[in-house]
Every structure is written in C-alpha cells, then in structure tokens.
Amino acid sequence: MGDDASSRSRSLQKELEVMQSEVEAVEIRRSPNDKTESVKYRPTYRAILANRGFLTEILSHTYCGSKSYAAPEILKGEPYDPRKADIWAIGVILYIFVTGKMPFDESKGNHGVLEEHRKLTFPWQKLRRAVSEECKSLILWTFRYDYNDRPDIYDILSSPWFRSENKAKIPDVPNMEGPTTKPEKTEQDSSAQNTKSSKRDQESR
C-alpha cells in the first residue's frame, strides 16, 4: 500500500514537471500546433518542443494541427490569438496527462467537436485515475469557450494545482550550445598559481 502511494506520488511529480516545462515553453514561441506528439522529453522529464513551424506574434488566420487540440476559434475559422490558442492546447495536454484519454473526439468533425467544446461534459467519475478538484478547475479554465476568459501563462503557473506541495523542482536544462569558453584568469588566480609553482620548486631542491 505504501509503495503504491509512493509510486503515484512520484508519477504526479513527473507529470507536474513535464507540464510546467511545456507551459513555460509557450513564452518563447507562438504556435497553435501544441500537442503531445510535438513535445519531446529529456530523461529528466524536461519537455522540449519539436515542432516550431508556425511561429507568429499577431492574430493568425492559419489553420494547422488536429481538431483534438484546436481551440474553438480555430475550428470556426476566426482570427485567433495564438497565445490563447496555446492555452487551450495546453489544457488538452494536461487532460491527457492526468486521465490518459483525449478530451475531445475529432472523428465527430468540426461541428461535433465544437459541440463538445461548449458542453465540456467530461466523465470525471468514470475515470480510472482520480483527478483533484484543483486540477479539474485548471483544465476547465483553459477550456473557456471565449478565449478572453482563458488564463495566461502566469495564471497557470500560479494556480493551486501547480503550486501544490507535490510539485517537484525542475532541474536546469543543460547547455545545448556546446562547451562554454574558459573564464579568463584574474591577477589573483595568477598569483596563487605562481605561489604553488614556487613551493613545488623549493620541495624539489
């Protein structure tokens, strides 16, 4: 029983680490194509984004990605704010992480998926994994039909679920740009090196 609880706790910590790194990644790119297949993971569970093909800073008219991850405004063909579309996609990824299932059925086509977006009737009680009320609230917040009502990145990172006591620290990402240049020696370093050399000379005499 204790081992099982410990295993669940470690699993939750890893999921939180991955989700936080995915949320933080939105700050450095603008894409309506977030989905679990676009997120790659390091052994430390740090997420990196593999698909950077649709970067934009303004309202977009470009449709890309799958219906399962697309926000309502994208499916309706309306100009959309990429940041708020990203928030919706993050909600989809979070739902998948905590339930193991897709929140929306893209096989129903645009009309069917949009109807699911409006209703948001998720089978919380039938899921094999219990989902906390804090997590449910965060998911539903990211799924606000009007994108103006969705949280921003900082709202998500400061939400009760992300700030829970189970959240583990994320290790720093290693430098991926190759080795850094060696720091220049200071006068103090040179003086210390000369002192060591002098002592070695005296000992050898």
Chain segment 17-71, per-residue pLDDT in tens: 666 666 666 554 444 444 545 544 444 444 444 444 444 445 555 555 678 899 9
Domain boundaries, position 44 = 2-204
What is the pLDDT averaged over residues 94-118? Answer: 92
Would the pLDDT of 92 be above 70?
yes
| pLDDT (0 to 100) of residue 136 | 94
- The identity of residue 174, as a single letter, is P
pLDDT per residue as tens digits for the range 127-175: 888 899 999 999 999 999 999 999 988 898 889 988 874 444 433 333 4
Q: State how far the Cα of 87 lies from the Cα of 35, in Å rounded to an integer.
A: 11
Which residues lie below 8 Å from residue 3, measured CB to CB, with a gap of 6+?
Answer: none
Would the pLDDT of 205 be above 70?
no
Q: Residue written as tokens 């410990």?
A: 6
Could you give the angle at the alpha carbon of 169 between the alpha carbons of 165 and 173, nearest 5°? Answer: 160
Number of domains in the chain: 1
Which residues lie below 8 Å from residue 76, measured CB to CB, with a gap of 6+?
Answer: 110, 114
Q: Which residue has the higher pLDDT, 115 or 39?
A: 115
- The CATH number for 67's domain is 1.10.510.10
For residue 34, the number of C-alpha atoms closer than 13 Å in the C-beta half-sphere is 29
Compute, in degrees rounded to 10, the torsion defined by CA atoms 124, 129, 134, 136: -30
38's enclosing H/E stretch is: none
This prediction has a pTM of 0.59
